[in-house]
């Protein structure tokens, strides 16, 4: 199984920045995709950024040009750099993985669907005021 542990959440001022990290246990797939999701109370979980093993990325409109997803493959760590943050970014943030999958299905759907990712972290809270 893949184990994921998020860190880096906390509080930020509107217009500020935070960087989230997600440490993944090692798994031996040459093709994989990783993603960040977020969920606010009373709202559905939203896929906001994804990256695959080729380095291709995709973003939800709500975070495009403000957030950047990246990966340090050597250290099995996924990152989410969040800039120009807004109060509406307040949510629990989760990382997720799809070992063996690329972003083909994500692009076909036109969104980062949680059903495409089988492994999840416990989440880290982000609050923007």
User: Tokens in use for 48?
Assistant: 């906001």
Q: How confident is the model over 74-101, as pLDDT tens digits?
A: 888 999 999 999 999 999 999 999 888 8
| Predicted local confidence at residue 32, as pLDDT | 86
Q: How confident is the model over 22-32, as pLDDT tens digits?
A: 999 865 577 88
Asked if 9 and 125 touch (Cβ cutoff 8 Å), the reply is: yes
What is Dmax (Cα atoms) for the chain? 41
What distance lies between CA 57 and its chain's CA centroid? 11
Q: Is the pLDDT of residue 6 over 60?
A: yes
User: Tokens in use for 109?
Assistant: 């759907």
Asked if 125 and 30 touch (Cβ cutoff 8 Å), the reply is: no
Helix (H) or strand (E) holding 66: none
| Predicted local confidence at residue 81, as pLDDT | 98
**Quick one: the chain helix, strand, coil %, rounded to 5?**
10, 45, 40
Q: How confident is the model over 30-55, as pLDDT tens digits?
A: 788 999 999 999 999 999 999 998 99
């Amino acid at each position: 199984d893949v184990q994921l542990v998020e860190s880096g959440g906390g509080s930020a001022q509107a217009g500020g920045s935070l960087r989230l990290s997600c440490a993944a246990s090692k798994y031996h797939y040459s093709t994989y995709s990783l993603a960040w999701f977020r969920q606010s109370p009373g709202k559905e979980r939203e896929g906001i950024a994804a990256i695959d093993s080729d380095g291709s990325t995709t973003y939800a409109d709500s975070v495009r040009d403000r957030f950047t997803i990246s990966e340090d493959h050597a250290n099995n760590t996924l990152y989410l750099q969040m800039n120009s943050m807004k109060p509406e970014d307040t949510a629990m943030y989760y990382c997720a993985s799809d070992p063996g999958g690329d972003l083909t299905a994500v692009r076909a759907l036109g969104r980062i669907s949680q059903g495409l990712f089988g492994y999840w972290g416990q989440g880290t809270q982000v609050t923007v005021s």
